[in-house]
Amino acid sequence: MKKKLITLCTLCLFLLGSAGFAEAAWQPQLLVSLGSKGTTLRLSGNIPVVLKRLDNKKVVWQGKAKEFATLTFAGTGWEMNGKKLKNADAAALELTVEDERNLAKLVSTYDSKSYRGALRLVPHKNRLDVINRVTVEEYLQGVVPEEMPPEWNAEAVKAQAVAARTYALHQRKRHGKEGFDVCATTHCQQYGGVAAERTAANQAVKATAGEVLQSRGALVDALFHTDSGGMTENSEDVWGSRIDCLRAAKELRTETYPWEKNVTAQQLGELLAKRGKNIGEIKKIELSPIKIGKASKDRTISGRVKSVTFVGKNGRASVSGNDLRSMLGLKSTLFSMSLNRHVVFIKGYGWGHGLGMSQYGAKAYADSERWDYKKILQHYYNGAQLKKLY
């Protein structure tokens, strides 16, 4: 009978040197989940690779420079090159190199990415979870260019670096019960490791090193989004609770980032029915016009939709703007709706939840008004103070 193995057949792991990369002074570290890998792991490095148990920090294997080795979790324990790895048992391991300035590199059939710091390998019955232990500044080098084009105005990119740093530290332990701090997707922040790094983004991270936004001594929940459409939003109109630093802020321009979407009245009626609002095919839509900067009974001060009332063959139903956005896959809740010949026409502006910094708005202020990153941050995070954390 064959042993059940987590054979990670398509994944190779290399540790590469990074000559000239300067070590930073003390700073917080993050545990970033890179997801689950279900393929064989190959190890190599231009200097020796070290595997330690996470629980007692004991070294269970140390490779030679430029030596290739295959690591497999065999259900009840680890194997190296097909032989049982002594003293490893079924413990979680951490992969490091003797010189911490080196890089850990993941290469698979799906991607080829390098990561700074160390890699933790956490075995489960049917998978290996890979977690990158990395300093905050090194993490940001792989985040900022993923979240904002690094070729944009340097002041906007610096503002992004501060917002991303503050958000990461504020959200630390978000996935604590799962054994890591943040994930590498847009659920937290998009993180691409070394492959994502760009010189301009690295410079923005370095120029703002350790700087965070605080309010009353606590880190701000420094949310950001692609484009506000003309005005950012108050937190209570998205989440239902007031946060002092997340207040509606005007932009240089309104009705930016236009988009459109159409759906038939019958399709919309069917979607509503699936959510317990069985009013039949839509016959009428009740929604006031967009007036950015002026709230109404069904719109917030930024013009975003609080709720829409639909009249169908079988009655009436009101749906929140956030529910409609999720239901129809809309870019934002800043939209108008009209019904014409059994088709619902949706025209909207902006992209994202509208809280905190608008990335296109930051770019516009840096380009047109020559604002520096500090003024941009003051504009979008009401009352927050810029502090040097480390």
Q: How far apart are CA 310 and CA 295, in angstroms?
A: 20
Averaged pLDDT, 366-390: 98
Residues 368, 371, 374: CA angle, nearest 5 degrees: 155
Is residue 319 left, alpha or beta, with left meaning phi > 0 and alpha meaning psi from -120 to 50?
beta
Residue type, 262: N
Furthest-apart CA atoms within the chain: distance in Å: 75
Based on the domain organization, do 237 and 333 belong to the same domain? Answer: no
| Residues 389 and 332 grouped into a single domain | no
Closest listed residue to residue 242, CA positions, set 382, 378, 386:
382
Q: Which pLDDT band, with edges at 50, 70 and 90, does 22 fall under? A: very low
Helix and strand element counts for the chain (H, E): 8, 25
Residues 262, 215, single domain; the answer is: no
Q: Which DSSP state fits 325?
A: H
Q: What is the pLDDT of residue 13?
A: 53
Predicted pLDDT of residue 6: 35
* Amino acid found at 53: R
Q: Please say if the pLDDT value at position 218 is more than 60.
A: yes
Check residue 46 and give its pLDDT.
Answer: 58
The pLDDT tens digits for 251-263 are 999 999 999 999 9
Question: pTM (2 decimals)?
Answer: 0.88
Encoding tokens for residue 385? 């103070």
Q: Nearest-CA neighbor of 180 among 147, 222, 133?
A: 133
Q: What is the DSSP string of 60-116?
A: EEEPPTT--EEEEE-SSSEEETTEE-TTTTT--EEEEESSTTSEEEEE-SS-EEEEE
Q: pLDDT value at position 44?
A: 61
Residue 180 has pLDDT above 50, yes or no: yes
Which 8-state DSSP code applies to residue 333?
A: S
Q: What percent of the chain has pLDDT over 70?
A: 87
Residue 22 vs residue 284, higher pLDDT: 284
Same domain, 325 and 205: no
- Dihedral sign for Cα 165, 169, 175, 179, please: positive
* Phi/psi at 218 (5° precision): -115, 150
Contacts of 383 by beta carbon, 8 Å cutoff, 6+ apart: 215, 244, 245
Q: Does residue 123 have a pLDDT over 60?
A: yes
Beta bridge partners of 120: 94, 131
pLDDT of residue 29: 95
> Tens of pLDDT along 70-81?
888 888 899 998
- DSSP bridge pairs for 104: 15, 115
Q: What's the pLDDT tens digit per position in 28-47? A: 999 999 988 765 677 665 56
User: Residue 216: how many CB atoms within 10 A of its CB?
Assistant: 10
Are residues 154 and 14 part of one domain? Answer: no
Please indicate, yes or no, whether residues 53 and 190 belong to a single structural domain of this protein: no
d(CA 369, CA 118): 42
Q: Is the pLDDT score of 107 beyond 50?
A: no
Looking at the structure, do residues 54 and 79 belong to the same domain, yes or no? yes
Looking at 103, 134, 165, the residue that finishes a domain is 134
> In this structure, what token pair is assigned to residue 200?
């301009």
In the prediction, which pLDDT does 115 show?
Answer: 83
Task: Verify that 356 and 369 share a domain, yes or no.
Answer: yes
Cα distance between residue 270 and residue 262, in whole Å? 15
Residues 115 and 10 both lie in one domain: yes
HEC per residue, 252-274: CCCCCCEEEEEEEHHHHHHHHHH
Whole-number pLDDT of residue 5: 34
Residues 146 and 248 in one domain: yes
- The residue range of the domain holding 361 is 142-253+352-390
- Which of 134, 165, 194 terminates a domain? The answer is 134
The angle that helices 199-207 and 154-170 make with each other, rounded to 10 degrees, is 70
Query: Does residue 175 share a domain with residue 54?
Result: no
Are 324 and 368 found together in one domain? no
Q: How confident is the model at residue 228 (pLDDT cuts 50, 70, 90)?
A: very high
pLDDT in tens, 127-152: 888 899 999 999 999 999 999 999 99
Q: Report the domain count for the chain.
A: 3
pLDDT beyond 70 at 100: no
The mean pLDDT of 58-71, rounded to a whole number, is 82
- DSSP-assigned letter for residue 180: S
- Rounded distance between C-alpha atoms, residue 377 and residue 359, angstroms: 11
Q: Measured between alpha carbons, how far is 344 from 179 in angstroms, rounded to an integer?
A: 45
Which residues make Cβ contacts (< 8 Å) with residue 256, sequence separation at least 6? 227, 228, 229, 230, 349, 350, 360
- Please count the other Cβ atoms lying within 10 Å of the Cβ belonging to residue 389: 15
State the pLDDT confidence band at 9, using cuts at 50, 70 and 90: very low
Residue 275 burial (CB count, 10 A): 11
